[in-house]
């Protein structure tokens, strides 16, 4: 389903004290040099994920986990390398990305689901299921700017997991909401697994990784440190 060959991602970081956007633009207009430092977020990554496989991706903060997911989801373009993805993708990377705070919850369901590839007719069919799962019926006609961050995340998760994709990308979203809602999210992820959906999951919770994943990739400073069975790789990671 996913075939990645020699993928490298480079970010350009500003090597100066933080400035406002206005200061930055003025400096550029005046022709003043901005000093940068290149940072390789991923280096020569090779990866194959087979149909129906659940791959866990672990590593410390800054290891390149979220960058790898964004490359696969085509959110960012690599400096070099080739990415082949076979099938539709639902990326649960930043829940609520693409929402408009001025629109109501209902309007944002139609907006966000359309971004994920659903037609108006398909959204009509799934609308009540999305609202029921999010448990936000009482607030669905209120503007999103009145929602708490947890409510926005719940709505985002509910929409994204109604798309029924070939590949599901999950970045630290099993911690959404309270314990009751976390269990609902967990059950929905398990249902995807039972249906044979290919999944990539980033998590700092090793218990989730060992319970849900078939294989685990350990990233360390943008390179593959270890690859193998969940228990073996997570044990080594926790000892590092």
- Over residues 132-151, mean pLDDT: 94
Q: Where does the pLDDT of residue 13 fall: very low under 50, low under 70, confident under 90, or very high at 90 and above?
A: confident
pLDDT at 10 over 80: yes
**Nearest-angstrom CA–CA distance, 26 and 226:** 46
Please give the model's pTM, rounded to 2 decimal places: 0.81
**Nearest-angstrom CA–CA distance, 132 and 224:** 40
> Exposure of 142 by Cβ count < 10 A (0-12 exposed, 13-18 middle, 19+ buried)?
middle
Which residues have CB under 8 Å from 225's CB, separation 6+?
59, 218, 219
Across 15-29, 56-70, 178-192, the highest mean pLDDT is recorded for 56-70
Which residues have CB under 8 Å from 48's CB, separation 6+?
2, 3, 4
3-state secondary structure of 45: strand
- Over residues 212-235, mean pLDDT: 96
pLDDT at 214 over 80: yes
Q: Where do the domains of the chain lie, and which CATH numbers do they carry? A: 2-239 (3.40.50.300)
Q: Kindly report the number of other CB atoms within 10 A of residue 57's CB atom.
A: 25
pLDDT at 28 over 80: no
pLDDT of res. 33: 66
């Amino acid at each position: 389903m996913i075939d990645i060959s020699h993928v490298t991602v480079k970010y350009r970081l500003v090597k100066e004290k933080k400035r406002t956007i206005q200061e930055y633009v003025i400096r550029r207009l005046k022709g003043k040099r901005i000093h940068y430092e290149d940072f390789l977020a991923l280096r020569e990554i090779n990866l194959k994920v087979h149909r129906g496989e659940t791959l866990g991706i672990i590593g410390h903060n800054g290891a390149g986990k979220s960058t790898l997911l964004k490359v696969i989801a085509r959110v960012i373009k690599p400096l070099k390398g080739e990415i082949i993805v076979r099938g539709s993708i639902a990326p649960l990377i930043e829940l609520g990305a693409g929402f408009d705070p001025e629109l109501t919850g209902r309007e944002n369901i139609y907006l966000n689901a359309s971004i994920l590839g659903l037609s108006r007719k398909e959204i009509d069919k799934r609308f009540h299921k999305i609202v029921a799962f999010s448990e936000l019926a009482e607030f669905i006609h209120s503007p999103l700017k009145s929602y708490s961050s947890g409510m926005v995340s719940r709505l985002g998760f509910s929409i994204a997991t109604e798309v029924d994709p070939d590949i599901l990308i999950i970045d630290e979203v099993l911690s959404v909401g309270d314990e009751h809602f976390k269990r609902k999210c967990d059950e929905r992820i398990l249902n995807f697994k039972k249906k044979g959906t290919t999944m990539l999951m980033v998590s700092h919770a090793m218990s989730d990784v060992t319970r849900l994943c078939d294989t685990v990739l350990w990233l360390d400073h943008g390179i593959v440190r270890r690859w193998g069975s969940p228990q073996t790789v997570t044990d080594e990671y926790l000892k590092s």
